[in-house]
C-alpha cells in the first residue's frame, strides 16, 4: 500500500531537474501523475508506466490560463479526479541572467514573476474548484531558500519565490474551510545536472559551507517532504513553508 494510493496528482515543471524526482516519488507511492511542462515529458511518463505506475505527460504553459484549463480537463477525463497539485514549474536561477538589480530590464523581471508567481496562481485557481467540491485537496508550492536569504544578483528570482511563500499563506487561509491544505517546500541549492556541471565548483562549495549538514543537496532529499505534504499524514498542517536545505536557512 502506497501513501498516495487512489490519489491523482498534477505536477508542473516535471520533465527535468528536480521535477523528475517529484514525479517518480509521487508515482512510487501510488498516485496517478500528470506531468505538465513546456517541453515533452512523455519519455519520463513512459518510464514510470513501465515500472507499473500511472502517468501521463502533457505539454502545458502554466502562464496560459486556457492551456491550464484544457490540460486539467484532460487529466480529469483520464484519471477521474484531482487530489494533489504540485506547483513546481519555474524559471530557475540558472535560466536567468544574474546581475545587480539596477541592471535588470523590466522584461527580465516580468518573465521571472510570470512563470514563478502567476503560473502558480493559474494552476491553483483552476484546481481549487475541484478540490472545494470534494472537500479535500493538497496544494504544494515550491519556493526556494533564496527567499529567506535575499541572495545577491538574482533579485527577480528571489522576489518571485518570496511571493510564492506569501501566496501559500493566503491560499491556505482562503481554502482551509473547504478542507484544502496548502503548504510550501523551500529547497536549497540542489545538485541537478545543471548545477553539477564544470565551472560552478565555487558556487557548490559555498552552498555546502552554508549548511549545518556539510554535504551536497541531492534531488532525492526532497522526496520525503513532498510525499509527506501530499499524504494524509500532514492533514493538520497548512500554510507552512518547510526549508529542505540541510540547515542553510538557519545558518
Residue 162: partners with Cβ closer than 8 Å, 6 or more residues away: 143, 147
**Which one is catalytic: 41, 84, 157, 230?**
157
54 alpha-carbon distance from chain centroid:
20
Task: Please state, in angstroms and rounded to a whole number, the distance separating the CA atoms of residues 123 and 121.
Answer: 6
Task: Please state, in angstroms and rounded to a whole number, the distance separating the CA atoms of residues 103 and 125.
Answer: 33
Task: Please state, in angstroms and rounded to a whole number, the distance separating the CA atoms of residues 126 and 123.
Answer: 5
Q: Are 228 and 244 in contact (CB under 8 A)?
A: no
Q: In terms of DSSP H, where are the helices of 93-200?
A: 106-113, 119-134, 146-149, 155-175
Active site residue 157: yes
Nearest to 12 by CA among 49, 51, 64, 52: 64
Could you list the active site residues? 157
Amino acid at each position: 500500500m502506497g501513501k498516495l494510493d487512489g490519489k491523482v496528482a498534477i505536477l508542473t515543471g516535471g520533465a527535468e531537474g528536480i521535477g523528475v524526482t517529484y514525479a517518480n516519488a509521487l508515482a512510487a507511492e501510488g498516485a496517478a501523475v500528470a506531468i505538465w511542462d513546456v517541453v515533452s515529458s512523455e519519455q519520463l511518463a513512459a518510464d514510470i508506466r513501465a515500472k507499473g505506475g500511472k502517468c501521463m505527460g502533457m505539454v502545458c504553459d502554466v502562464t496560459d490560463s486556457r492551456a491550464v484549463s484544457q490540460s486539467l480537463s484532460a487529466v480529469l477525463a483520464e484519471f477521474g479526479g484531482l487530489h494533489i497539485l504540485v506547483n513546481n514549474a519555474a524559471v530557475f536561477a540558472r535560466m536567468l541572467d544574474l546581475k545587480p538589480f539596477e541592471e535588470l530590464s523590466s522584461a527580465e523581471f516580468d518573465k521571472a514573476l510570470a512563470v514563478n508567481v502567476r503560473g502558480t496562481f493559474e494552476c491553483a485557481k483552476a484546481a481549487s474548484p475541484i478540490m472545494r467540491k470534494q472537500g479535500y485537496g493538497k496544494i504544494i508550492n515550491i519556493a526556494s531558500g533564496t527567499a529567506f536569504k535575499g541572495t545577491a544578483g538574482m533579485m527577480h528570482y528571489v522576489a518571485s519565490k518570496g511571493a510564492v511563500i506569501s501566496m501559500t499563506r493566503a491560499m491556505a487561509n482562503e481554502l482551509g474551510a473547504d478542507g484544502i491544505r496548502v503548504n510550501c517546500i523551500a529547497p536549497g541549492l540542489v545538485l541537478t545536472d545543471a548545477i553539477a556541471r564544470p565551472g560552478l565548483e565555487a558556487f557548490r562549495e559555498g552552498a555546502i559551507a552554508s549548511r549545518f549538514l556539510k554535504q551536497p543537496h541531492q534531488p532525492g532529499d526532497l522526496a520525503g517532504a513532498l510525499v509527506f505534504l501530499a499524504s494524509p499524514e500532514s492533514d493538520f498542517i497548512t500554510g507552512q513553508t518547510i526549508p529542505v536545505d540541510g540547515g542553510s536557512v538557519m545558518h
